[in-house]
Amino acid sequence: MASSSDSSVQKRFKYDVFLSFRGEDTRKNFVDHLYYALHQKGITTYKNDEKVKKRKRIIDHLIKAIEESKIHIIVFSKNYASSSWCLDELIKIMECHKTAKQNAYPVFYDVEPNEVRNQSGAVGKAFAKHKKTAAAERWRNALKEAANLAGWALKAIDDGHGEKFIQMIVKDISLKTHFINSSVDRKLVGMETRVKNVVSSLEIDSDDVRIIGIKGIGGGGKTTLARAVFDHISSCFEGKSFVKNVREVSKGSSSGLKELQKQVLQDALDDQRIDVKSVSDGKNMMERMMGSRKVLVVLDDVDDIDQLEALAGKPTWFKSGSRIIVTTRDEHVLIASRVKFIHDVDLLSHEEAISLFSWYAFGREIPIQGYEELSEGVVVDYAAGLPLTIKVLGSFFCGKT
């Protein structure tokens, strides 16, 4: 999701990641392993093939791939700066980073950031062949700019342990590529900051078991926020379950709460054979079984402490690193359950409300010409910043135009 300031970015990318690297240094080891690890996470990655370099239009091909990639990973190695191909890639990557709101991240594989920044040491030796080249100054500036970006340095992590280094990069990139933004769903207006705040409080790298609450009035966007967070971070967990309409399901029938327990167990443990005979049986099963996997569980629309006790009774039920997100209209449920981290869902600002209404009414970010005043009136007089109301009104209006 994007805030209104970012929602103008409507470009759709062909690749999640573009890998820039010096083949003779890293292709057969680090880059191949990184590419495979990204692929295993479902991250669409462009890695240049050696054969492609023999084609006449390689420059156009690479430029297109860079432009069509959401994230650029630059693998700096000892001989990266010896390649004019790599340096031209870097120029284009930095242009995209500055002008197209794409993200670039350096990886310092077997060199130090200062070597890249100052073209010293091994990097300086590799770059020496270009000193009299016309593009030398532009390449120097690009190297310096890239070295100043936040990234990863192999020597600084676990004494250069390559496998852990790759895992760390993939985890970070997975979070970045799964982040909800306007290029994924342009109708998710105003959520970027809200999602970041919730993710920050989750501290998913810490080993404690953490339960957080998201509270707000009906139609205020609690479920949308919880779903955005869930989609953003679920790849970091061994198991996951998003339980919708807890209040409605648990009170709809005598077996409702038992069915929700079964859903959590089946989803989180990825075992559809699991059956729950009673709520008491479900509690015992969760206490006995949920500790086997690091899980992410969302309990949406909880309104009774009994529901929380049945579905997420004690932190000791869960494996270290697990996270439980609870959405509710009633803060007292969270307080009674000793939930320490509670987020209020802010209603949409006027600008965000207009944008959301416009997407549902006109299929675009701003109202079409001639309907600006009417859109203002609908949002101000009827919506009161409630996302659900705005969506309903926008959809109704769309059917009338």
Residue that terminates a domain, selected from 147, 177, 207: 177
Give the model's pLDDT for residue 300. 96
- What is the domain-level CATH number for residue 301? 3.40.50.300
Q: For the packed helices 58-67 and 84-99, what is the interaxial angle rounded to 10 degrees?
A: 30
Tens of pLDDT along the chain (401 residues) come to 333 333 333 456 889 899 999 988 888 889 999 999 998 887 889 998 755 454 444 578 889 999 999 999 999 999 999 999 899 999 999 999 988 778 999 999 989 999 999 999 999 999 999 988 999 999 999 999 999 999 998 876 655 557 888 888 988 888 777 654 434 456 677 777 788 889 888 988 788 999 999 998 888 889 989 998 998 888 788 899 999 999 999 887 778 999 999 999 999 999 999 999 999 999 999 999 999 999 999 999 999 999 999 999 889 999 999 999 999 999 999 999 888 899 998 888 888 888 888 888 888 888 888 888 888 888 887 777 788 888 888 887 775 55
Residue 161 lies in a domain: yes
Residue 187 lies in a domain: no
Structural domain that includes position 361: 350-400
Q: Are residues 50 and 144 in the same domain?
A: yes
Residue 7 lies in a domain: no
DSSP string, 222-260: HHHHHHHHHHHHGGGSSEEEEE--HHHHHHHSTTHHHHH
Query: How many independent structural domains does the chain possess?
Result: 3
Q: Are 379 and 190 in contact (CB under 8 A)?
A: no
CA distance 16 to 51: 22
Amino acid at 87: L
Residues acting as catalytic residues = 89
Element (H, E) at 108: strand 103-108
CA distance 244 to 300: 5
User: Which one, of 350, 333, 387, 395, lies nearest residue 224 by Cα?
Assistant: 387
Grouping H, G, I as helix, E, B as strand and the rest as coil, residue 266 is helix
Q: Are 90 and 143 in contact (CB under 8 A)?
A: yes
Q: Are residues 19 and 143 in the same domain?
A: yes
Grouping H, G, I as helix, E, B as strand and the rest as coil, residue 47 is strand
pTM, full prediction: 0.63
Residue 185 lies in a domain: no
- Chain segment 347-362, per-residue pLDDT in tens: 888 888 888 888 888 8
CA distance 210 to 162: 30
